[in-house]
Copies of this chain bind each other. A is one copy, B any other.
Amino acid sequence: MTAKVIAACRHRGIALCLIYAVLLAGCASTRGTGDLGVVIERAAGSVLIVETSAHKRLAQISGLGDLSHASVVYSRDERYAYVFGRDGGLTQVDLLRQQIVKRIVQAGNSIGGAISQDGRLVAVSNYTPGGVKVFDAHTLALVADIPALYGNSGQRSKVVGLVDAPEHRFVFALYDAGEIWVADMKDAQKPIVQKFKQVGDQPYDALITPDGRYYIAGLFGEDGLALLDLWHLDAGVKRILPGYGRGTRKMPVYKMPHLEGWAVAGDDIFIPAVGRSQVLVVDQRDWQEVGRIAVHGQPVFVMARPDGRQVWVNFAFPNNDTVQVIDVATRTIVKTITPGKTVLHMEFTPRGEQVWVSVRDADRVNVYDTNDFAMVASLPAAKPSGIFFTARAHKIGL
């Protein structure tokens, strides 16, 4: 760029020189990227770039397509956000130049994605055509295509619960096939896929524990959960929590809870009950339920503050105006907040001193101090849903 300026000044004189100089000064901000984030504005197909230090909206970026159920991962330098849309759109956003770098529509219908441990590969989880596509994180060029073929007649399954795992792996579940696949991406062009079959009926979502060891898929078609220990693939997929799910009573389930939301605090995992106004406490050492906490409604996200001392819970309709805070030490509710109509998501600042809460129907994102629960800021946002901070770039399985 400098060279260009010099050239411009030499050969074309002041006008172009000025333009370049202004461009240089104007088009990209010089700032750290560790305190940035993205808020999804679902209805508008736009995202907000936000800054958590001063609770600022930095920019609104439009033209990202259908962002229902959208999620975001970050480049390892925390400069670029990769936004996964419902319509198969994969959009790379530059948080510094505050613009879309590249946007591709790589499938007809998608549900989230992941970025590889080394940051070189971005993978997308597709419903139609069912499978996983893997792209170069810099160019968004297709690097590998993993069709979710199953059975003998060439059917393709919807893919869900795609996560990155240590040692250059992606892990995901096949909804229609009832399988979990582990893709070793050491040679990105030639993924080595290990398939675990008959893991359960209709895995609909999954999570990986923060240490990247345990992959757990929720089952829509039956009760119980499918567990894969990535340290011991030879042990295969085990079934845990046989009672977990809608149960035989089949009470109305307003929303299947997000598994991404599971909170791991010490040995305890706090998980949303399905169809019940409870949060379940499970001991990670033996995967046995060790407690139930009655809460305000059917939990959707159950998220641990980064230090694991608190667990924050939001709820499904008709209780979705409320957030409750569980104290992990006593397993009691220590605070109930009503941010407003339709609380969709929560994101903690990296060290947990504050939490951002999206309140869709209030068109606001509220920021709370997790220590005294005071609201420290509130930002306007158009029907905000997911909130994703750049610190995710440094985490496994996000």
Contact = CB atoms under 8 A, between A and B. Distances in A.
Interface string A142-186: 000000000000000000000000111000000000000000001
Most buried by B among A52, A352, A391: A391
A1 interface: yes
Contacts of A62: none
Contact of A34 (B20, B118, B394): B394
Interface of A, helix, strand, loop or mixed by DSSP = loop
A18 B35 contact: no
A138 to B, nearest CB: 10
A228 interface: no
A76 interface: yes
Contacts of A265: 211
Copies in the complex: 2
Contact of A9 (B21, B267, B391): B21
20 contacts: A2-B26, A5-B22, A6-B21, A9-B21, A13-B14, A17-B17, A30-B30, A31-B79, A32-B75, A33-B78, A34-B78, A76-B349, A166-B309, A167-B371, A186-B371, A211-B307, A232-B329, A267-B285, A351-B394, A352-B396
A117 B309 CA distance: 14
A393 interface: yes
A28 interface: yes
A69 to B, nearest CB: 25
A393 B168 CA distance: 24
B371 A168 contact: yes
Contact of A308 (B36, B213, B395): B213
Contacts of A96: 30-32
B53 A25 contact: no
A207 to B, nearest CB: 15
Nearest to A350: B394
A307 B213 contact: yes
A151 B13 CA distance: 74
A25 B24 contact: yes
Given A5-B18, A5-B21, A168-B353, 12 more contacts: A2-B25, A14-B17, A32-B75, A32-B77, A34-B76, A34-B77, A35-B76, A76-B350, A166-B309, A211-B266, A213-B308, A391-B394
B6 A22 contact: yes
Contacts of A350: 76, 393-395
B78 A32 contact: yes
